[in-house]
Amino acid sequence: MTKFNDYPFKPFLQEAVAKLGFMEPTPIQKEMMPHILKGNSAIGQSHTGTGKTHSFIIPIVERIDVEKKEVQAVIAAPTRELGMQIYNEILKLVEGSEIEVKSFIGGTDKQRSINKLKTQPQIVIGTPGRLKDLVNENALLVHTAKILVVDEADLAFDMGFIEEIDQVAAKMQEKLEMYVFSATIPEKLKPFLKKYMESPIHVHIGDKRPTAEGLDFYLVPVRSKKKVERLIDVMDIINPYLAIIFVNTRTNADYVATELSKKGIRVGRIHGDLAPRERVKMMKQIRDLEYQYIVATDLAARGIDIQGVSHVINYELPEDLEFFIHRVGRTARAGMKGLAITLFKPEEEDAIVRVEKMGIPFQQKDIVKGEFVDLKERHSRKNRVRTANAADEKAKSMVHKPKAVKPGYKKKMKWKMDEIKKIERRKNRKK
């Protein structure tokens, strides 16, 4: 199947896909959709921005039996924002059908969620904790469902949600179809996968090309300045439609946002300490383009689909370098261009080299008089071929290895060569 209209989807779904403007499936969609349509459990591994969400929601919608008013598919998302994004995308697909979809997100009123379940939806999307609570309350009846999707599984594991997903899965049909989507498959996640997936198909997309077309990577040294001052230097040059500034901790997110605010720069912030109501308000403000800059931590921003990101700034390199790919994947989406700027200090050289080995083609840049200027390669000093001068040549021609070698002969040879070089240099200076 090379185009979406080649798939024998139901008319309402074919119409919805066309309305979204989808012509050809992305690589992850092309590989995963046939397995889900056939009911073969599979792991879909690919990086951010590759079309993972539609690779499972399209075939799930296709498989729903509208005659059965019961739960048929459960989708677990590790963050509220990701859960709402999936829910909103499914609503676009089921328009014009009788398929009922409901979302159950943590941080909202639990009793209201229970009240919504007087009739069971056919597709359920939710955060792991809320799904587990509703299942334990016997409000959400998942024993009828045979499809379970775990989205952003590595993030779910990092956030400690795998146990809750496990409890939900245990109440589902014995012959459970599981579809796991993740950018990475940590070793510690494998026991959970093995428990529910016997010899699953593993689709791995984008290993060789982790970054999008049209994405440039600038590497900017901090030098003697404070890092936040260098950040402001960068911000004075660029004029982003929307830029995400990535930091590693909530404390640093607040620090950077506060320092920028002192300079009169209005910034949004996304981190784990925001209350649910604050998070909803912040996401609305971001979507309404009230901010040109957002300061974010990795765990808070992962799985959030923020439209129109033109720039990504790595204020800090991520502690887990794999997150570098997630960060830069926020920009240059849907054929648009993007720029990822990384600030670095000399002591981070080893980490930068490891990122380069992941396929990131950094361009070395400095900031001079409010503009980016090209820098020589960081490795140029190491790679420089040393050319022999006249003094070296004279010393080599006059000092030879003795026929009868005695202990310490190398030191004596070096001493003689150094003496000759000194004499030659003095002669050259007098000239």
Could you tell me which of 376, 233, 378, 379 has the C-alpha nearest to residue 313? 233
pLDDT digits (tens, 9 = 90+) for 86-115: 999 999 999 989 999 999 988 778 898 999
Q: What percentage of residues in the chain have a pLDDT greater than 70?
A: 87
Between 429 and 287, whose confidence is greater?
Answer: 287
Q: Which domains does the chain have, with CATH numbers?
A: 4-204 (3.40.50.300), 215-382 (3.40.50.300), 390-430 (no CATH)
Of residues 119 and 80, more confidence is placed in: 119
pLDDT digits (tens, 9 = 90+) for 346-357: 899 989 988 988
Given this model, what pLDDT does residue 384 score? 43
pLDDT digits (tens, 9 = 90+) for 150-159: 998 988 887 7
pLDDT for 232 beyond 60: yes
Cβ contact 129:83 at 8 Å = no
Contacts with 367 (C-beta within 8 Å, 6 or more apart), sequence order: 220, 230, 233, 234, 237, 373
Give residue 186's pLDDT: 77
Q: How far apart are CA 102 and CA 125, in angstroms?
A: 6
The model carries a pTM of: 0.66
Query: Per mean pLDDT, which range of 41-55, 234-248, 251-265 is the poorest?
Result: 41-55
Cα–Cα distance, 250 to 354 (Å, whole number): 25
Higher per-residue pLDDT: 53 or 2: 53
Tens of pLDDT, residues 159-192? 789 999 999 999 999 899 999 998 778 788 889 8
> Which residue did the predictor score with more confidence, 156 or 294?
294
Tokens of 232: 């402001």
Average pLDDT value for residue range 57-69: 97
Residue-level pLDDT at 306: 81
The pLDDT confidence band at residue 385, using thresholds 50, 70 and 90, is very low
Q: Grade residue 386 by pLDDT with cuts at 50, 70 and 90.
A: very low
The pairing of strands 293-297 and 267-270 is parallel
pLDDT of 394 over the 70 cut: no
Q: Which residue has the tokens 């998942």?
A: 142
- Per DSSP, the three-state class of 303 is coil
- The answer, yes or no, to whether residue 213 has pLDDT greater than 90, is no
Q: Is residue 136 pLDDT above 50, yes or no?
A: yes
Q: Find tokens 């020589």 and name the residue.
A: 376
How far is it, in rounded angstroms, from Cα 31 to Cα 54?
12
- How would DSSP label each residue in 357-422? HTT---EEEEEETTEEEE---TTHHHHPPPPP-HHHHHHHHH----SS--TTHHHHHHHHHHHHHH
8 A C-beta contact, residue 176 and residue 22: no
- Average of per-residue pLDDT across 316-323: 84
Task: Read off the pLDDT of each residue in 265-279 and give the average, rounded to a whole number.
Answer: 84
Q: Residue 132 pLDDT > 60, yes or no? A: yes
What average pLDDT score do residues 122-147 get? 96
The neighbour count for residue 335, using CB atoms within 10 Å, is 8
